[in-house]
Amino acid sequence: MLHVVFFEPRIPGNTGSAIRMSATTGATLHLIEPLGFDLSEAKLRRAGLDYHDLADVQIHADLDAAKAALPDARVFAFTAQTTTRYTDIDYVDGDVLLFGPEPTGLPPEVLDDPWVTEKLRIPMLPGRRSMNLSNAAAIATHEAWRQLGFPGGV
């Protein structure tokens, strides 16, 4: 299945929403520390509703630990700093969708890491800095899942 990776997320509600999205799509959610919140925070629990037990969430101490857990995967880093659209990719089982923290996005050292296969963007109107993290992850995950034929979905 797909892997959604949040690099150093800061806002508990976004991560809670991503937990719910992961539970409903079958994607594994990977969180790379440090996190900007405690995993027991009420906002995180509320946003994830009762889906926490249905989601596969893995915590990694740093980027190197995440890379070790996903060594052979294709990694698509989402950024406004590229022209390739997320819809231009033919996704395959096991792909990684990598997102940066709010509000800065992925830092250059992550975007330029050899682990990253390609940088992708979600189109927006001009003059807008970025989308909400959980919304962007949901858009990309559902496109990749759609291309895979919605395995396990009803």
Residues at the annotated binding site for S-adenosyl-L-methionine?
A: 100, 122, 130
Q: Which two tokens stand for residue 153?
A: 């979905």
What residue has token string 């946003």? 47
The sheet carrying 3-7 orders its strands as 56-60, 28-32, 3-7, 96-99, 75-78, 118-120
What is the rounded radius of gyration, in angstroms, for the C-alpha atoms of the chain? 14
Q: DSSP label at 85?
A: B
Residues at the annotated binding site?
A: 100, 122, 130
Answer positive or negative: Cα dihedral of 132, 109, 62, 83: positive
Q: Which two tokens stand for residue 14?
A: 């976004």
